[in-house]
Amino acid sequence: MFNCMYFGFRYYSSTLWDIKHMKEQYKSFVNESGLLSVRNVQKSVAPRFVRFVKENFFPDFQIGGEPIIVSPDHNGRMVHRNAMHMVLMRGLDICVRMSDGIKIGDSVIPLLQKVLTERVSTVRDLIPDIDRKISEVANKVDGIINDWFRDIEEQIQNPVDSNIFTSKKEKDLWKIDTWCTKLVAELGYRIPKWVEKNRCIFLIGGHDIQYVKTFESKVMLQNQFNPQSKIKMSYVGSNMKVASMIAEDKDCKVIGDPVPSWFFWARLQSIFMSRIKFVEETHGDEECDEILRRVKKLLAYEANDLVVNDWAMLCKGNKIVVCDQGDKMLKVMIEYEKWKENATAKGFDQAFKDYHDEMLHSTFTSLHHHHRCALKYPCNFESVPEDVKCLECCHGMQKFVTFKCCHGSAYDDEAGLYCHDDEDSD
């Protein structure tokens, strides 16, 4: 399953969508992943299984719709009808923890020997070979512990066999999740590192490279006044050309990369779908659910690529401080001189939020002033609502049915597909 994700990043290209290349990629995928495959589906798959798939997985799976991942247990019983969203949400975190492995530490033999020696101290002189017996017990227990660790390691190496991706597990994880930076941007290696160092982080989106450069220049100017703040910036917008242009600009202080940007939105869409399902199953209210409201707003900001619709999010470590449309966030940075003293006294993040909130009451940011918003649901989603309120002005949104073909446009030939491996600087 994880190899599948890696396979998608490694080989996805608009120039390889022909039968010959697809067959070669599929063969390589099966070999690398250790999956079972059949050459002739009609001969190898029983008709009753085909009937079972049609009855249980449609309309979850539709031709032209989004792919699904069905998760069975060891006995072949379905534990998740569609684990795709859970894989995109949790897969990267699980991969990282898998690579970290188990912190086994030093041998427990010296500690066991010390404990046993202390406990038999009053009768040591009554048992001539007590030291040998202590050593035997300590080694035996150490062997049992090591066998247990090896068993755990084997299960970690194959999380699918451990039934990690179950409906129950997905629901249990949602019970402890909160609206935070890690939930939104658990991707790559830079942002999690910035979160751990409690940095101020700007996540920037939209489809206008000029907005990104203007915002960067204002933040860098602030850095000159307050070099201790060490503000980090990352473009996470869905526009691949913008991400590539940022990545190629060596003077740009904003981090940009086509693959993480794509994954950011694929993962955010999965958070959206998975959270809706959780709220429905727990009889919650979508409009009152903080995570769902804020994820909807992010998706609405980025959805319309035909209109310049920029946005920015300020985070302080794992705390999301403020997120708003690009012109409002940029105006706060342009007027930095008005609140720079507060930035020194309260910290950049709190001073930024205070000034931003103060602007909410001005004519510039009236409730009726906002760019066009759109919210997209996949055609195979079970709970597409009839009425949706705008995330900005709370008016009813218009409903459209859109047929969209992304063949050959996900990665522009000029954009390329690559990752930067430059070391993160403090």
pLDDT 10s digits, 370-382:
666 777 776 666 6
Lowest-confidence pick of 122-126, 187-191, 204-208, 312-316: 187-191
Task: Report in angstroms the alpha-carbon separations of 28 from 32, 87, 407.
Answer: 6, 21, 22
Contact between residue 215 and residue 331 where contact means Cβ atoms under 8 Å apart: no
Distance, in Å, from the CA atom of 233 to the CA atom of 312, rounded to the nearest integer, reads 10
- Over range 213-226, report the average pLDDT: 84
Distance, in Å, from the CA atom of 347 to the CA atom of 368, rounded to the nearest integer, reads 31
Domain ranges of the chain: 2-101, 109-157, 181-365
Distance, in Å, from the CA atom of 186 to the CA atom of 181, rounded to the nearest integer, reads 8
Distance, in Å, from the CA atom of 160 to the CA atom of 87, rounded to the nearest integer, reads 11
Residue 274 Cα to chain centre, angstroms: 13
Average pLDDT of the chain to the nearest whole number: 76
Is residue 406 pLDDT above 80, yes or no?
no
Task: Write the burial class of residue 414 (CB in 10 Å: 0-12 exposed, 13-18 middle, 19+ buried).
Answer: exposed
Contacts of 370 (CB under 8 A, 6+ apart): 325, 390, 392, 393
Q: pLDDT band at residue 414, thresholds of 50, 70 and 90?
A: very low
Per-residue pLDDT, 97 = 63
What is the pTM (predicted TM-score) of this model? 0.70
Tell me if residue 218 falls in helix, strand or coil: helix
Q: Specify the length of the chain in residues.
A: 426
Please give the helix or strand (H or E) that residue 198 lies within, else none. Answer: none
Per-residue pLDDT, 349 = 93
- Percent of the chain exceeding pLDDT 90 equals 18
Distance, in Å, from the CA atom of 313 to the CA atom of 253, rounded to the nearest integer, reads 16
Please give the helix or strand (H or E) that residue 321 lies within, else none. Answer: strand 319-325
Per-residue pLDDT, 76 = 73
Is residue 17 pLDDT above 80, yes or no?
no
Q: How many CB atoms lie within 10 A of CB 253?
A: 15
Pull the structure tokens for residue 308: 């310049």
Phi, psi values for residue 344, rounded to 5°: -70, -40
Residue 400 Cα to chain centre, angstroms: 28
Distance, in Å, from the CA atom of 322 to the CA atom of 320, rounded to the nearest integer, reads 6
Per-residue pLDDT, 416 = 33
Q: Higher model confidence: residue 398 or residue 128?
A: 128
Q: pLDDT band at residue 291, thresholds of 50, 70 and 90?
A: very high
Strand stretches in 17-161, DSSP E = 71-72, 78-80
What digits encode the pLDDT tens for the residues 346-356? 989 999 999 99
Phi, psi values for residue 314, rounded to 5°: -105, 130
Closest CA to 71 of 163, 159, 168, 172: 163
Orientation angle between helical segments 326-334 and 209-225, nearest 10 degrees? 30
Distance, in Å, from the CA atom of 198 to the CA atom of 316, rounded to the nearest integer, reads 6
Distance, in Å, from the CA atom of 136 to the CA atom of 303, rounded to the nearest integer, reads 66
Task: Write the burial class of residue 338 (CB in 10 Å: 0-12 exposed, 13-18 middle, 19+ buried).
Answer: exposed
Contact between residue 183 and residue 214 where contact means Cβ atoms under 8 Å apart: no
